[in-house]
Structure 1
Amino acid sequence: MRKIGFDGGHSIYELGTSSDVQLFFDCLNAYTKQANHKQDWSLLTDRLYRRYLRREELESALALMAKVREIFAQLPTQTAVDWKPHMLGDTEKSWLNPDQPTLADVFSEYFEKFARACGSAESFVEAFNIYQPVRVVISDLAGFARDKNKPLAEYDALEGKPFWLQ
């Protein structure tokens, strides 16, 4: 199964399998809207999920991700997700540990790696005056090489499944 990560600046921060990352975004969609339906979550549910973050969106995206972490911290792992037994314990299928007490604990590395990807993107700008966008990517070499050179206009025009799920 494909491995997926956050890309930003000069680094890729590997998260796990495509099904793990899809579960993160499924939970994000379900529980953030449930907790605060008036908040616009599209910066994460569309821009990050399907496209990429522009430099001017990083600060807002980090603040939204902190809110997601707070929401996930209120959700007991065992009742928030219908864990598929055939996925658990096999690192080829899932890197997640459902024995954690809350969803924030299950996805703690996602929050930390997202912040690091944003920091890496900013440091790349400072060092080279070039913004390498924060986005979700296939983290294996062949998949990353395929998508790294796609023009951002292709991401902007994308409808449906993100490239990392294709």
Structure 2
Amino acid sequence: MKHVGFIGGSSMVELGSPSEMDDFFSFCFNNLKGNKNHAVLDRLYRKYVRFEELDEINKIIQELNGYLSPDVKDKYSKYISGIETCIESAKLFYESWNIYQPVRVGITDIPFYIDDKRRPLNQYDALGPEELPFWLR
């Protein structure tokens, strides 16, 4: 079974199967429908978060975390924690090395992680709106 998680900076947080990650994003999209930053969340789902969008995605996650009921919080807290870890790691990596390692969803199984980590950003940028994200293929 393939595993996926959040990747960013020098961190990788393995979280579960692609269907579990997809379930988390479905929950996010359904509960943040009125959010003006929906496009940033969609970028995280399909592609990657640009450096200048890190604060926006962090605000979205904090907003989501703020109104989770206890039963839902138990189910999704590891995803929220994983995103926060990768956002912080990406910022620290950039501050230390002046290199942005983007926050994104990726495959966490070896050897597929290595290929996924090396995938050029232009391949993500070339994804059309109807194409599946790489981590769901």
What TM-score do you get using the length of structure 2 for normalisation?
0.91
1:41 aligns with 2:38: yes
Q: Secondary structure of the equivalent of 2:32?
A: helix
> What does residue 61 of structure 2 align with?
65
Q: If each structure's helix is expressed as a fraction of its own residues, which one has the higher value?
A: 2
Deviation at 1:19, TM superposition (A): 1.1
Tell me how far apart the structure 1 counterparts of residues 32 and 72 of structure 2 sit (CA, whole Å). Answer: 12
Instruction: State the identity as a percent.
Output: 40
1:104 aligns with 2:100: no
The answer to whether the 8 Å contact 1:7/1:136 transfers is yes
What are the superposed Cα offsets for residues 26-84 of structure 1, whole Å, 9 maximum, x if unpaired? 11122221xxx25331211x21000001111101110011112234x14xxxxxxxxxx
The answer to whether the 8 Å contact 1:3/1:139 transfers is yes
Larger radius of gyration between Structure 1 and Structure 2: 1
Counterpart amino acid of 2:64?
A: V
Over aligned residues, Cα RMSD in angstroms? 1.3
Tell me how far apart the structure 2 counterparts of residues 135 and 54 of structure 1 sit (CA, whole Å). Answer: 9
Deviation at 1:11, TM superposition (A): 1.3
The answer to whether the 8 Å contact 1:124/1:132 transfers is yes
Count of equivalent residues: 135
Distance 1:38 1:163, change over 3 A: closer
The answer to whether the 8 Å contact 2:15/2:21 transfers is yes
What TM-score do you get using the length of structure 1 for normalisation?
0.76
The answer to whether the 8 Å contact 2:37/2:56 transfers is no
The answer to whether the 8 Å contact 1:70/1:104 transfers is no
> What does residue 132 of structure 2 align with?
161
> What does residue 52 of structure 1 align with?
48
The answer to whether the 8 Å contact 1:14/1:139 transfers is yes
Question: Structure 1: which 4+ aligned runs deviate by more than 3 Å?
Answer: none
Structure 1 unaligned regions, length at least 5? 75-100
> What does residue 28 of structure 1 align with?
28
Counterpart amino acid of 1:114?
A: I
